[in-house]
Chain A
Amino acid sequence: MSAVHAHLLHRPGNTPVHRLAPQVKVVAAVTGVLCVVATPRERFWAFGLYLAVLAGVWVIARIPPGWLAARALIEVPFVVLALAFPFLAGGPTVEFLGLRLSEHGLLSGWNIAVKGTLGVLVSLTLAATTTPGELIVGLQRLRVPTMVITIATLMLRYLDVIAAEARRMRIARICRGHDPRFLWQVGATARGIGTLFIRSYERGERVHLAMVSRGWTGAMPDQGQPAGRRTWLVGLIPTALAAIVLGIAL
């Protein structure tokens, strides 16, 4: 897809995970996350097994843990919240290094941190092995409403066009002596955003015209083959493992 997104979250490759039909990957990721979320928080071992299954996928997809770790930083605010729980929650407490920590808070914090982290890692694995374009085709094959698909497709493409337009407008402002360093100078930037909105709206109209002129009637043409039973079976192995873990944990 576009330069920005492609390099940020997608990691091009030609592994079995990369080649797997996108709709299978989407289903595997969603059900995998559901298994994690449904697991009781006290079953610490289950989360370790989930991570092991995921790590297996990383090995096959050849994704280095460091690459994922750098992108998992998005989760930091939630981890900070989770760390605050043991200090803020009430109920029975335990002593640790001279600190009085709430038992209930510890478990709540752990719950958020572990499930959030696994969720982020699953999403990153999906994004790393599937281009945004494939993702959209996958969603389409899963019968997600065409309007949602169309909006997502256009957003992916035009985010960069609009970002480039915003960049040009900013440069043009700076060239005319605009130096927005203080809060009271934000007016021109705000008006710029307003103009950008209108321009994007007009561009949206023109894009739509160009699509209609090429015979578009609401659905993106899907040139791929539907995934066979074998693809589904193989692709859902990690999810099946997660489901077994969940079954034991419950």
Chain B
Amino acid sequence: MTPPALLVERLAYAYPDGHQALFGVNLRVEQGERVAILGPNGAGKTTLVLHLNGVLTGQGKVAVTGLEVNKQNMKEVRRRVGIVFQDPDDQLFMPTVRDDVAFGPANFGLRGPELDARVKRALDDVGMTEHADRSPLHLSGGQRRRVALATVLACDPDVLVLDEPSANLEPRARRELAEVLLGLGRTTVMVTHDLPYALQLCPRSVLVDGGVVVADGPTRDLLADGALLARHRLELPFGFRLD
């Protein structure tokens, strides 16, 4: 039996200042699934995401494709879970796009032609090959977002985690990114406020609020439940109805 891509059991976490962000989160994501994590600001979504690759460690259990997240496994866990952060400027820091995409796989030990091939494939996947030798600073917002995605794809992760992938994107860049993501065919966890984007990309959604999972089901069903959304400070955009 194949292990789930992600298994989170009774995960609880308090920040050093005492603020309790997670109160026992349970989540199981099967391999190949695309799941949206929805929730209002301050619900604990980003805190949850940072536990998936061990940047934060709370109480409870997190496992990635069967491998438990702990100190001994940290390097392999970070290869298996690729996080694309919300602001590409936080992610891109090397002189050229190519260097930045190579940074992750090089950290995981790839060298020479193997590394070059991996970088090339990641840039191909996001349609940014022709910009490989440019500085990330000179790219548009949408291009930077795709390069940030490539920097993580190059590590060949088992689980792709995206934090607000559609934030600050023009409609066309937003759609192009969706097409790239749908074409990847990888297990994907996407944290977002952009409910139509969740509907377009993720068959399943998990609603997190107050540090616990409050709803888990088909995205269309969750988004059609106006009362549920209202209880958790979520709203569909103007003129958008599913019921």
Q: Interface majority SS on B: helix, strand, loop or mixed?
A: helix
> Quick check: is B139 within 8 A (CB to CB) of the other chain?
no
Among A156, A214, A217, A221, point to the contact of B152 (Cβ < 8 A): A214
Q: Mark B44-85, 1 if CB is under 8 A from A, else 0.
A: 000000100101000000000000000000010011011101
Which residues of chain B in 77-126 are interfacial with respect to chain A, using CB atoms and an 8 Å cutoff?
78-79, 81-83, 85, 87, 89-91, 93-96, 99, 102-104, 106-108, 111-112, 115
Q: How far is the CB of B24 from chain A (nearest CB, A)?
A: 24
Chain A residues positioned under 8 Å from B81 (CB to CB)? 213
> Quick check: is B38 within 8 A (CB to CB) of the other chain?
no
> A158 with B93: in contact, given A213-B53, A221-B106 (CB under 8 Å)?
yes
Q: Is the CB of B90 within 8 A of A206?
A: yes
Among B106, B137, B138, point to the contact of A161 (Cβ < 8 A): B137
Which residues of chain A in 192-213 are interfacial with respect to chain B, using CB atoms and an 8 Å cutoff?
203, 206-207, 209-213
Chain A residues positioned under 8 Å from B75 (CB to CB)? 215, 217
> A132 with B102: in contact, given A3-B138, A212-B55, A213-B83 (CB under 8 Å)?
no
Q: Is the CB of B79 within 8 A of A215?
A: yes
Q: Is the CB of A215 within 8 A of B108?
A: yes
Q: How far is A3 from B99 in the complex, measured between Cα atoms in Å?
A: 16
> Quick check: is A216 within 8 A (CB to CB) of the other chain?
yes
> Quick check: is A1 within 8 A (CB to CB) of the other chain?
yes
Q: Is the CB of A2 within 8 A of B137?
A: yes
Q: How far is A131 from B85 in the complex, measured between Cα atoms in Å?
A: 28
Chain A residues positioned under 8 Å from B83 (CB to CB)? 210, 213
> Quick check: is A42 within 8 A (CB to CB) of the other chain?
no
Residue ID in chain A nearest B88 by CB atoms: A210
> A157 with B53: in contact, given A215-B108, A217-B107 (CB under 8 Å)?
no
> Quick check: is B22 within 8 A (CB to CB) of the other chain?
no
Chain B residues positioned under 8 Å from A154 (CB to CB)? 93
Q: Is the CB of A213 within 8 A of B108?
A: no
Among A132, A207, A214, point to the contact of B155 (Cβ < 8 A): A214
Chain B residues positioned under 8 Å from A93 (CB to CB)? none
Residue ID in chain B nearest A156 by CB atoms: B95
> A206 with B79: in contact, given A214-B151, A215-B104 (CB under 8 Å)?
no
Chain B residues positioned under 8 Å from A217 (CB to CB)? 75, 107
Among B53, B87, B91, B107, point to the contact of A221 (Cβ < 8 A): B107
Interface size class of chain A, counting residues whose CB lies under 8 Å from the partner chain: 20 to 34
The total of Cβ contacts below 8 Å across the A-B interface reads 79
Residue ID in chain A nearest B112 by CB atoms: A223
Q: Is the CB of B55 within 8 A of A221?
A: no
Q: Is the CB of B104 within 8 A of A214?
A: yes
Chain A residues positioned under 8 Å from B129 (CB to CB)? none
Q: Mark A1-42, 1 if CB is under 8 A from B, else 0.
A: 111000000000000000000000000000000000000000
Instruction: Identify which of A157, A158, A211, A216 gathers the most chain B CB atoms within 10 Å of its CB.
Output: A157
Q: How far is A51 from B83 in the complex, measured between Cα atoms in Å?
A: 53
Q: How far is A46 from B94 in the complex, measured between Cα atoms in Å?
A: 42
Instruction: Identify which of A131, A203, A214, A216 gathers the most chain B CB atoms within 10 Å of its CB.
Output: A214
> Quick check: is A108 within 8 A (CB to CB) of the other chain?
no
Chain B residues positioned under 8 Å from A203 (CB to CB)? 89-90
Residue ID in chain B nearest A219 by CB atoms: B107
Chain A residues positioned under 8 Å from B96 (CB to CB)? 133
- A to B CB contacts below 8 Å, 17 in the list: A2-B95, A131-B95, A158-B93, A161-B137, A206-B90, A207-B93, A209-B85, A209-B90, A210-B83, A212-B55, A212-B78, A213-B53, A214-B82, A215-B75, A217-B107, A221-B103, A223-B112
B interface vs A, CB < 8 Å? 50, 53, 55, 75, 78-79, 81-83, 85, 87, 89-91, 93-96, 99, 102-104, 106-108, 111-112, 115, 135, 137-138, 151-152, 155
A interface vs B, CB < 8 Å? 1-3, 131-133, 153-154, 156-158, 160-161, 203, 206-207, 209-217, 221, 223
